[in-house]
Amino acid sequence: MSNLEVTLRDGGAIIMPTETVYGIFAKALDEEAVNNVYRLKQRPKDKAMNLNIADIESIYDYAVNPPRYLDKLVSAFLPGPLTIILQASPKVPYWINSGLSSVGFRMPNHPETLAMIKKYGPLIGPSANISGHDSGTVFKDILGQFQYNVDGIEDDSAITGLDSTILDLSGEKATILRQGAITREDILAIIPNLQFEV
């Protein structure tokens, strides 16, 4: 078992690449591990975290009333730069979604990161930067930002720097909360009848 795995297993935080930016990951169901990431990032507690998962079964585990087309959406875009917001099940602890009725799901497209999520997940994985700073795309710069107190996996070649699209499906109609690599047109090509908020 690597030192990084030991850190993650024991409730610590590690930096790992995704296909967009680096994230700072920790065990989502461990309240102290999540609080540690909030402290490291200097992130306000009312900013909810996403659940990073490795398979669709985990989405069904932590969401209620998912849309019928969810399987098709996941099959088309995940793993990849899409965050899907759904109604949260009671299994989602308040320290993840700040007591909201919804929760976001992310399945990053990086083999080492996905393997860690599969083994120790669900994980939180917000961007690896101090809150208010640009999202981290260069590993050595990120280590400096965290004063070399957090270790991780370096793979700058995997990083595009373009954020994931955030698609909110927790209401009656779909809403794109943040436009990233995946467009509304890409989504409609897979789910033609999907109704978006105007």
**Mean pLDDT for each 10-residue chunk of the chain (198 residues)?**
93 97 98 97 94 97 97 98 98 94 98 97 96 90 94 96 95 95 97 92
User: pLDDT value at position 167?
Assistant: 98
In a domain, 172, yes or no: yes
User: pLDDT value at position 49?
Assistant: 97
d(CA 37, CA 43): 8
In a domain, 169, yes or no: yes
In a domain, 195, yes or no: no
What's the domain count of the chain? 1
Encoded amino acid at 125, one letter = G
User: pLDDT value at position 80?
Assistant: 97
**Alpha-carbon dihedral sign for residues 87, 88, 94, 95:** negative
User: pLDDT value at position 137?
Assistant: 94
User: pLDDT value at position 196?
Assistant: 95
**Alpha-carbon dihedral sign for residues 80, 82, 88, 92:** positive
In a domain, 197, yes or no: no
In a domain, 51, yes or no: yes
**CATH (domain of 20):** 3.90.870.10
**Burial label, 142 (beta-carbon count in 10 A; 0-12, 13-18, 19+):** buried
User: pLDDT value at position 48?
Assistant: 95
In a domain, 30, yes or no: yes
Beta-strand pair 165-168/22-27? unpaired
User: pLDDT value at position 160?
Assistant: 95
User: pLDDT value at position 130?
Assistant: 94
10: number of Cβ within 10 Å = 10
159 Cα distance to chain centroid:
15
Encoded amino acid at 127, one letter = S
In a domain, 196, yes or no: no
User: pLDDT value at position 104?
Assistant: 98
Identify the domain containing residue 121 by its residue range.
3-190
Reference 169, options 123, 90, 79, 102; nearest CA is 102
